[in-house]
Amino acid sequence: MVAEHLAMSAPQTGQALTLDDIVHRYGSALAIDHVTLEVQAGELVALLGPSGCGKTTLLRIVAGFIAQTSGKVVVGGRRIDELPPNRRDVGIVFQNYALFPHMSVAENVSYGLAARGTDKAAARRRVVEMLELVQMGHLAQRQTRELSGGQQQRVALARALAIEPRVLLLDEPFSALDKSLRLDMQIEIKRIQRSAGTTTLIVTHDQEEALGMADRVAVLSHGRLEQFDAPETVYDRPATFFVNQFVGSANVLAGRLEAVDGERAWVRLDDGGALWPTRAPLASAALKTGSAVVACVRPENLRLDAASPDDPATLGAHVELGMALGATLVHELRTGSGRPIKLSEPRSPGSQARAVATPVRVRPVAPEAVSVFAAP
């Protein structure tokens, strides 16, 4: 979404970042469980996952603030594990900003430049440029403890970008910004990242942000990498039931795997015995015919048919609630056994929600829109 606003020139001056079989334990607690991630030079990768899944831990390992229990961190073909944080050429925006409290805004932004021996005039120009970028120029002389959360966040961004890092690590960098500034900053980060070719890892709770900004998305759960793919692939073809549940919303229907033939499979739903064609379960799941499965389909990938004639590929239900929400029409249905199903479709002028209690039949828009996983 954001990417559409941007020029696609990418000089690729960044460096590839490889996390090779990283494990991290805090005492006996396993926080990172054998994560391997290869980020290409100039690529923007979003780390997505629930609170406590290890996102910040992973960033801190790359930055050098904590030492992993085992595994390697490689930038541009060189191991950086042994280097102290200030020699890794990594820019980081922490989840809690972590500005230097006894310094002004401008001093915070110029700190990394001075440490790298940038000459004073050039450093001053760079500070002005960065503060303008984050719309903080007017507060350059302010002490950072006198700033709001959103202002501190912008200073932290300016400070990380000022040194033109080889790798940029952003931990919830926009969480304190309001919507329009957030969008501005998303576009700006993307622009800088593209034009400088900075390899970037961004942590965000906001799925739209992750899916919109990232070249690829890494989904983590309990310290494990569940899927690492393009945003569309993560959304359309979730690799695991966890990813299916965590990214976007999906209806989950229990059934049995009836047959598999190449890319296609058929699931007999417990509800009403409908037989749905689906995409074949992933080979890694190794599901046998007859095993208990769940068929998962997003609300926008279901279609409503009239109640008759009976078609085995459709599931019987009735309307529980229908809402016209401007551009979309949303229906909440109930199956015979009382299971709720959500369905959404684009609304055209004059199209009305169906009345409560109307009997309907439901089918997926295409077999590829239905993912099959072992019953959890």
User: Which residue, 52 or 273, is less far from ligand ATP as judged by CB?
Assistant: 52
Run of H or E including 345: strand 340-346
Q: How far is the CB of 92 from ligand ATP (least distance, A)?
A: 13
**Alpha-carbon separation of residue 217 from 89, 96, 97, 231, 372 (angstroms):** 23, 23, 23, 6, 21
Q: Which does residue 53 bind out of ligand ATP, Mg ion, none, counting CB within 5 to 8 angstroms by kind?
A: ligand ATP
Q: How far is residue 107's CA from residue 204's CA, in Å, rounded to a whole number?
A: 28
Strands 315-325 vs 328-335: parallel, antiparallel or unpaired = antiparallel
Q: Which long-range contacts (CB under 8 A, 24 or more apart) does 124-131 make?
A: 126/162, 127/158, 127/162, 130/158, 130/159, 130/161, 130/162, 131/105, 131/106, 131/155, 131/158
> Does residue 54 bind ligand ATP (CB under 6 A)?
yes
Q: How far is the CB of 171 from Mg ion (least distance, A)?
A: 6
Q: Which stretch binds ligand ATP (CB under 6 A): 34-42, 53-61, 302-310, 345-353?
A: 53-61
> Does residue 371 bind ligand ATP (CB under 6 A)?
no
> Does residue 56 bind Mg ion (CB under 5 A)?
yes
Q: How many helices (H) and strands (E) does the chain have?
A: 8, 20
Contact pattern for Mg ion over residues 152 through 171, marking x by CB under 5 A: --------------------
Residue from the set 17, 19, 22, 31 that interacts with ligand ATP by CB under 6 A:
31
Q: Which stretch binds ligand ATP (CB under 6 A): 25-33, 211-219, 304-312, 320-328?
A: 25-33
| DSSP states along 88-109 | S-EEEE-TT----TTSBHHHHH
Residue from the set 17, 35, 43, 55 that interacts with ligand ATP by CB under 6 A:
55
> Does residue 34 bind ligand ATP (CB under 6 A)?
no
Q: Which does residue 75 bind out of ligand ATP, Mg ion, none, counting CB within 5 to 8 angstroms by kind?
A: none
Q: Which stretch binds Mg ion (CB under 5 A): 55-63, 111-119, 145-153, 237-245?
A: 55-63
Residues that bind Mg ion (rule: CB under 5 A) add up to a total of: 1
Q: How far is residue 155's CA from residue 104's CA, in Å, rounded to a whole number?
A: 10
CA angle 286–291–293, rounded 5-degree value: 85
Q: Classify each residue of 254-265 as buried b or exposed e, where b means 16 or more C-beta atoms within 10 Å of its C-beta.
A: bbebbebeeeeb
Q: How far is the CB of 79 from ligand ATP (least distance, A)?
A: 22
Q: Classify each residue of 50-79 as buried b or exposed e, where b means 16 or more C-beta atoms within 10 Å of its C-beta.
A: eeebbbbbbbbbbbbebebeebebbbeeee
> Does residue 56 bind ligand ATP (CB under 6 A)?
yes
Residues that bind ligand ATP (rule: CB under 6 A) add up to a total of: 12
Residue from the set 11, 52, 290, 312 that interacts with ligand ATP by CB under 6 A:
52
Q: How far is the CB of 25 from Mg ion (least distance, A)?
A: 17
Binding site for ligand ATP (CB under 6 A): 26, 29, 31, 49, 51-57, 95
- List contacts with Mg ion (CB under 5 A): 56
